[in-house]
Structure 1
Amino acid sequence: MNANAFRQFYEYHFSENRKIWDSYVTSLPYGKFIQDAGYSHGSVREQILHLMGVDEVWFNELQGIESSELLTSSNVDDRDIIRSHWDSIEKRMRNFLAELKDDDLFDRPIIEPEEDKELMVWQVLLHVVNHGTDHRAQILRGLNDLGIKTTSQDFIFYLYEHLK
C-alpha cells in the first residue's frame, strides 16, 4: 500500500465525477436534474450534493478542518454554483493527496467524531473512493431511469483508457 496508489484511485474518482457532470448533468433539463428518483438521496442533484459533501467532510476530518455548510435545496438552476463548489472541494483534495506520503497512510489524525478516531488515513481514503463509486452508480441508474443512455464507470475501463 502506497500513497501513489491512492493518488491513482483519486484520479479515477475525479475523472468519473467529471465525466458524469460533463456527459450528463450539463445537458440534463433542470426538471430532470431535481426529479426525485424515489431511492437513496433522491434526485441527481441531491445525489451529487451528497457525494461531494461526503468527500469534503472526510478530507476535512483528516486535516482537522471544520466543514462548511452544505448546499441546500434550490428553486433555481444552481448547477454553476454546485460545479464551482465541487471544483473547490476537488482542489483541496488534490492538495492533500499531493502531500501524502506512504507513512501517512497509517496515521490516525481524526479527533472528532469519537467513532472515527481509530480510523487510519488509508481506510478513510478507500472509503471515500468506494462511496463515490456507489453514488455514481446510483446517479447513473437514476439517469437511466430518466431515459438517458449511460456508460460504465468501472475502474478497469478507466485504466485501459489512461494507461495507454
Structure 2
Amino acid sequence: MTLNEAGQLREEAHRLRRALDEALAAGEFADHPVLVSFPSGTCGLISEFVCQYLRDRGLGSWEYVPGERHSPSTGEWQGTHGWARQGQVVIDLTADQFDGEGRPPMWAGESDDWYRSWEEGDSWVPEDVEADGMDRAAYEVMLRYARKA
C-alpha cells in the first residue's frame, strides 16, 4: 500500500465514522434494531457497510473478519467483535465499544496487538448490502451523510 492509499483510507474511514455519528444524533437509526445502539453491538453490520463502501470507491476487495476473545487469565469467553481488513490494514469504525481498553473511536491502520489478541473466525468478502430492506436503507443514510462529511 502506498502512502497516498493509506491517507485516502484514513480519510474515508473518518468520513464514514462522522457520517454514522451524525446520522445517529439526527435520529436516523431510531427504528433500526441494531444501529440504534451504534457503536455498541454494531461491528458486524458496520464492517459489511465499510467493505462495500471501500470496494465501491475503487479501494479493492475487503473482507469481514469476525473474532472472539477469551480471558487469558480465566479462559472465560469475553465477547465477539468484527472489522474490515485488506491484507494487514484494518478499518474498524466501532473500536470505541472497547473504550475501557483505550481504543480510539475508530481504527484505520495496520493491525496491532489488540486485533491480534482476537481469535479470528473464517473471514469472507461480503456481498452487496441487500437491495431492499432495513439494512440497505441504513446504508443509504450513511452514504447521504458521508457526502456531507
TM-score using structure 2 length: 0.36
Which structure: greater strand fraction? Answer: 2
Which structure: greater helix fraction? Answer: 1
Find the structure with the greater CA-based Rg.
1
